[in-house]
Amino acid sequence: MEKPLCLICNEALSAESLKPSKLKRHLNTKHAESLDKPIQYFERLLKFSKKQKQFRENLFTVNERYMRASYEASYLIAKSTKPFSVGENLVLPAAVKMSEIVHGKKYGDEIHKIPLSNDTVARRIAEISDDQLQQLITRLKKSQKFAIQLDETTDVSKNAQLLLYVRYVHEENVEEEVLFCQSLKSHTKGEDIFFKVDEFFTTAGLQWENCIGVCTDGAGAMMGKRAGFVAKVKEHATSESVTFTHCIIHREALAAKHMSFDLDTVLRDVIKIINYIKNNALNSLLFTNL
């Protein structure tokens, strides 16, 4: 039930104060100086109060629109893998210019209010990433059972990166997402990889007992019988509940072990030819002309 509001002192009264006698008592005790005011005076106060309320609602709604536009633009910048500064240096000026041409300068000024600075975009992307991670963790907990696939590799900066995928059931559909990509600060042994994954599971509240599948490559750090990642997983989850499989990303390594001699010879010649062409700019130009 909507409560009465005094137009003079802006005090919210109780629902029982709607009685004429109590409204009159409030006016007599707190606003005796306004007893002789004409009704037009109170009508002006009511009109002014409605304008203030409308102004606050519009201000909140407009700010909310700017905020949402900032998040949507930041999300697109993240998906395009462009530098965060592209929002302030390209996206926003382009949007302002197009709005001014199509709709007029007034709309261009409105677009210009959207925050898209380098720091703002970085902060928006971080918040979006954290929110997506929390949604994924919530889904994993709701799914109860899940499977993981992981691989360790070295990036162009010679930093060891651990990439972990997760597969789970969501609304009767099998979904697959990237759970995390984190750097290994020192060694890349099986126990280091397991410590990184176990640390994430502990922080996120995930249980090894709910992991029913682990997919890795054939590296010693993964498949070692004593200190490998698989061996560490078996210590925390019973081997009967976990299925261990070989990563299909490295299927070419498995296929090469059983490749015929003739096919192996042909592929080696092809690789030599490609390397000879691509290693020299002149050879690439001559091959293009050919």
Return d(Cα 242, Cα 142) in angstroms, integer.
19
Q: What is residue 62's predicted lDDT score, i.e. its pLDDT?
A: 47
* Contacts of 227 by beta carbon, 8 Å cutoff, 6+ apart: 189, 190, 191
Looking at residue 224, the DSSP 8-state letter turns out to be -
Alpha helices in 81-215 (DSSP H): 86, 92-102, 105-111, 118-143, 190-204
Neighbours of 101 (CB within 10 A): 11
* Contacts of 128 by beta carbon, 8 Å cutoff, 6+ apart: 71, 74, 75, 78
Q: What is the pTM of this model?
A: 0.60
Return d(Cα 133, Cα 203) in angstroms, integer.
12
Kind and range of the H or E element at 253?
helix 251-257
What is the fold, at CATH topology level, of the domain defined by 144-253?
Nucleotidyltransferase; domain 5 (3.30.420)
Mean pLDDT, consecutive 10-residue stretches, the chain (290 aa), reads 67 66 72 73 74 61 78 92 92 93 89 89 92 92 89 81 90 89 83 88 89 82 78 75 74 68 88 91 90
Return d(Cα 179, Cα 199) in angstroms, integer.
13
Greatest C-alpha distance within the chain? 109
Return d(Cα 217, Cα 211) in angstroms, integer.
18
Amino acid at 77: I
Burial class (CB in 10 A: 0-12, 13-18, 19+), 216: buried
